[in-house]
C-alpha cells in the first residue's frame, strides 16, 4: 500500500499585483509585518550581545571605515545595489521588498531602546543565540508571506531558483562571502558572526515550509519551500 505525499507549498516568483490578488491577506499581511519587526529585533539582539555582527552588518561596518556615510545610509545604498543583481535573475520585487527597506531599521532602533546590554558572558551568549534563531524564524515568516523577499533574501531565493541549489547552501555561501569582504575592509567579526553564517541557512530552510502561504489563485511555482534541492 503506497502512501501519497502531501502537496508541497511553493514560493512563487510573481509581481506585486499578483501578490495582492493571491488571497489570505488576513494571514499574510500580519505575518509579513511581524516577520519584519522580528527581523529587526533579532539584529538588535546580535548588536547588543557584542559577540559579533551579522554577516551583512560586518560588510556594512567595513564599508563605513572607508566612506563618510552613516551606517543606515550604507545599508540603504547596498540594498539598491543588491536589487540590481535581481535583474539577470528575473527576481521580481514586491510589497515586502519595499517594506523590508522601510521597517527593519526602525524595528532595530525601537528594540534597542528597551533591550538590555548584558555584562555577563552567559547572558551575552544567550542573547546572541536567541538572535540567530529568531532571525531565521523571521526570515521564514516574511518570505513565506509571499509579498516578495527583502533585497538580500531575494538574492538568496533567486540564486537558489536559477542554480537549482538548496536555499541552505546558497544562503550559507552568501553569508560567508560578505563576512570575508567585510573583514578585509575592517568590519567587526566575532563568534556570533560565524554562528549566524553557518546556522541561518539551515534554520530558515527548516522553518520555511511552516510559514509559506500559497497564493490563490495559484500561480506557477518557482521555488519549493519543502522540497528544495539538497546540497
3-class SS string, 170-223: HHHHHHHHHHHHHHHCCCCCCHHHHHHHHHHHHHHHHHHHHHCCCCCCCCCEEE
SS3 label, residue 106: helix
Q: Which grid cell sits at 51?
A: 559577540
- Contact call for residues 195 and 172 (beta carbons, < 8 A): no
How far apart CA 161 and CA 117 sit, in angstroms, is: 40
pTM of the full predicted structure?
0.76
118 has a pLDDT exceeding 90: no
Question: How does residue 191 score in pLDDT terms, banded at 50, 70 and 90?
Answer: very high
Q: At residue 189, does pLDDT exceed 70?
A: yes
Residues contacting residue 226 through CB under 8 Å, at least 6 positions apart: 8, 9, 208, 209, 212
What's residue 93's pLDDT? 78
Residue 11: what are its φ and ψ, rounded to 5°?
A: -95, 125
* Range ranked top by mean pLDDT from 31-35, 61-65, 67-71: 31-35
Range of weakest confidence among 11-15, 172-176, 182-186: 11-15
Per-residue pLDDT at 161 exceeds 90: no
The mean pLDDT value of the chain amounts to 81
Is the bond leading into 217 cis (omega within 30 degrees of zero)? yes
Q: What percent of the chain has pLDDT over 70?
A: 85
Amino acid at each position: 500500500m503506497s502512501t501519497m505525499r502531501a502537496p508541497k507549498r511553493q514560493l512563487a516568483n510573481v509581481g506585486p499585483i499578483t501578490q495582492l490578488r493571491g488571497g489570505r491577506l488576513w494571514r499574510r499581511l500580519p505575518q509579513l509585518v511581524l516577520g519584519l519587526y522580528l527581523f529587526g529585533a533579532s539584529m538588535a539582539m546580535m548588536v547588543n550581545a557584542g559577540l559579533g555582527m551579522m554577516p551583512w552588518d560586518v560588510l556594512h561596518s567595513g564599508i563605513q571605515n572607508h566612506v563618510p556615510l552613516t551606517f543606515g545610509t550604507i545599508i540603504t545604498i547596498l540594498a539598491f545595489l543588491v536589487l540590481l543583481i535581481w535583474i539577470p535573475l528575473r527576481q521580481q520585487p514586491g510589497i515586502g521588498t519595499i517594506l523590508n527597506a522601510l521597517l527593519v531599521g526602525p524595528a532595530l532602533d525601537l528594540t534597542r531602546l528597551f533591550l538590555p546590554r548584558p555584562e555577563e558572558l552567559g547572558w551575552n551568549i544567550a542573547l546572541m543565540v536567541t538572535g540567530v534563531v529568531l532571525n531565521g524564524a523571521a526570515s521564514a515568516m516574511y518570505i513565506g508571506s509571499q509579498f516578495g523577499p527583502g533585497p538580500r533574501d531575494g538574492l538568496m531565493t533567486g540564486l537558489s531558483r536559477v542554480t537549482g541549489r538548496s536555499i541552505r547552501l546558497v544562503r550559507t555561501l552568501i553569508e560567508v562571502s560578505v563576512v570575508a569582504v567585510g573583514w578585509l575592509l575592517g568590519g567587526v567579526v566575532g563568534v556570533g558572526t560565524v554562528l549566524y553564517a553557518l546556522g541561518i541557512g539551515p534554520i530558515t530552510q527548516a522553518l520555511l515550509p511552516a510559514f509559506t502561504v500559497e497564493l490563490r489563485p495559484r500561480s506557477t511555482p518557482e521555488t519549493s519551500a519543502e522540497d528544495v534541492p539538497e546540497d
